Amino acid sequence: LPTHYQLPSGDRIPSVALGVWKAGKGEVGTAVKACNNPNTRRLVAYSTDRQHLSPATVILTNEEEVGQAIRESGITRSDIWLTSKLWNNFHAPEDVESALDDSLNKLGTEYLDLYLMHWPIAFEKEPGPDGNSIYAENLSENPYPTWQKLEEMVEKGKVRNIGISNFNIRRIQNLTANPLKVQPAVNQVELNFWNPQPELVKWSKENGLLLEAYSPLGSNNQVGNTLRIPEVKNIADKLGITPAQAVISWHVQRGTIVLPKSVTPSRIEENLQVTALPQDLFEKLEAAAAAHPPQRVVNPSKSWGLNFDVFEY
Ligand code: A2P
């Protein structure tokens, strides 16, 4: 299975990387350091955690800790893949660069390997009393002005690749219908056994857009069930690997990047070891995933007060 995928920029992105969303304070550093594995040389990718400070803005909470851990580990910057995201209240073109600069400062780095538009939805810059619900309609349907600013950040060398997150096919097409200077490198979405999104996977493959799987083992409360799926256990038994490795290998074999979150060093190590699955076992797991109604866990549409489902519309 591929250890890396090539992006339009020519950069090679690791196929499996560490996600640190929801990693608690004090845990992030341990996790980042555990990724400094000279055997795999597939180091950290990193997804931001968010804290909602009512009524103030949303801040990305673990960037400082990630930055500190990287410095303490002595890892060479070029050996790490660093990803961060632009939060929804900084979509206005004049706000993009300062949001990015803030991330760069906190991480203590000159550049990001990948910067993602976190959601296709823009908020007003100053959130309402609940921190979220105010929603700037005029920006929501047109991500292109934000994207143009992101392209400028590539030109300036502050980010090497730019991408999107939580975009459905209609929204991707809405963006890529514009004369883009830089194509989206990836689309980061929820992908797991319970929400396998075969149509999005197929469309993305046909259109040359890499997908990154967040919550690849299922969301927190699904992980136990994921690791007990008969098809997963069967693969693990036959190949002498762990159920988590079977699932992560399935993702890579589907052609996606996988971001398993863990703060446990032994699991981080475990999760980086992927193995090609025999085609029949791969197909059985794929069929089992498609055989039940999809259960998406991450969907903030209601909590944001949208009158539509951000994934459906
Ligand atoms: P931990 O971080 O304590 O190691 P999320 O929904 O945030 O992606 O959650 C992933 C969950 O899966 C976390 O609770 C994480 O626990 C757990 N996890 C990650 N890797 C493994 C593994 N190899 N085996 C079992 N659980 C895992």
Every domain of the chain and the residues it spans: 10-190, 215-292
The Cα 246–Cα 217 span in angstroms is 10
Q: Which atom of ligand 1 is nearest to the CA of 214?
A: 8
The pLDDT assigned to 247 comes to 98
Q: Which atom of ligand 1 is nearest to the CA of 297?
A: 6
The pLDDT assigned to 150 comes to 98
Regions of the chain short of the pLDDT cut 50 = 40-42, 45, 47, 50-59
* Nearest residue (CA) to ligand 1, atom 24: 244
Distance from CA of residue 206 to its chain's centroid? 20
Reported ipTM = 0.96
Q: Which atom of ligand 1 is nearest to the CA of 271?
A: 23
* Nearest residue (CA) to ligand 1, atom 8: 215
Q: Which atom of ligand 1 is nearest to the CA of 268?
A: 20
pTM attached to this predicted model = 0.92
Residues flanking ligand 1, CB < 6 Å = 21-22, 215, 217, 219-220, 223, 244, 260-264, 267, 270-271
Cα(263) to centroid(ligand 1), Å: 8
Structure tokens at 221: 């409360």
The Cα 215–Cα 229 span in angstroms is 16
Cα(286) to centroid(ligand 1), Å: 21
Cα(222) to centroid(ligand 1), Å: 10
Check if the beta carbon of residue 89 is closer than 8 Å to that of residue 119: no
The Cα 87–Cα 57 span in angstroms is 10
CATH 3.20.20.100 fits 10-190, yes or no: yes
Q: Write down the H helix ranges in the chain.
A: 27-34, 63-73, 93-107, 137-140, 144-155, 169-176, 198-206, 223-227, 230-239, 243-253, 265-271, 279-290
Cα(154) to centroid(ligand 1), Å: 33
The pLDDT assigned to 22 comes to 59
Cα(245) to centroid(ligand 1), Å: 12
